[in-house]
Structure 1
Amino acid sequence: MIELKTLEIETFRFIDITLFLPRWTCRMIVSTKAALVDESWDLGVLETKQIAAFQVLKPGKDGLLNGKITAMTSTAARLGIYIGMSGKEALLKVMHEKTETG
């Protein structure tokens, strides 16, 4: 089963995507500019697509938003995302960066 929910943080909207698979659950919070993913996702694939993606190892929506980033793509690093930043802080940084620069 796939569950899609709208998530609003500040003035930005994101899509909270949860995939309920037979043996595990995968979750990501995405926008048109970034992806916050759990440990189920392969950052190598997202790297090849030049997506600003960052990974948190805590489960659930609150875990993703409040947990600390443990890995990221080089695109995310170029935007100022760093290890230890919270997922929410990283999402907002990317959204503000892109908004300010066009």
Structure 2
Amino acid sequence: MTGRARVIVYLRAPQEGPGAIEKAYHEISGRLAATPGLLRNELMRSTLDPGGFAVLSEWSSLADFRAWEEGAAHRNATSPLRPYQDRDGARHYGIYEIVAAY
């Protein structure tokens, strides 16, 4: 399992509710279904903040994620969620490489 990477993107629901985030997530997931190296992704809602969401994606390697991220398709594929990125914190995303697991 080591060598895999996980990417977290933090989102904030708009005033009208979380439906827009859920719709954009499903749209993007359909587009990314055959992306090389992408193993899975999940949309998560915070239990501490009902307006807080995160998308967690798991990649077979950091290199696979970087190749996709640097490719031309990346920006267009993820654009539906971009308006909902939570930019109030220090970072609206995190990239982690798994170094150990049990």
Asked if TM exceeds 0.5, the reply is: no
Provide the TM-score with structure 2 as the length reference.
0.28
Rg (Cα) greater in structure:
2
Bigger relative CO (Cα 8 Å, ≥ 6 apart): 2
Provide the TM-score with structure 1 as the length reference.
0.28
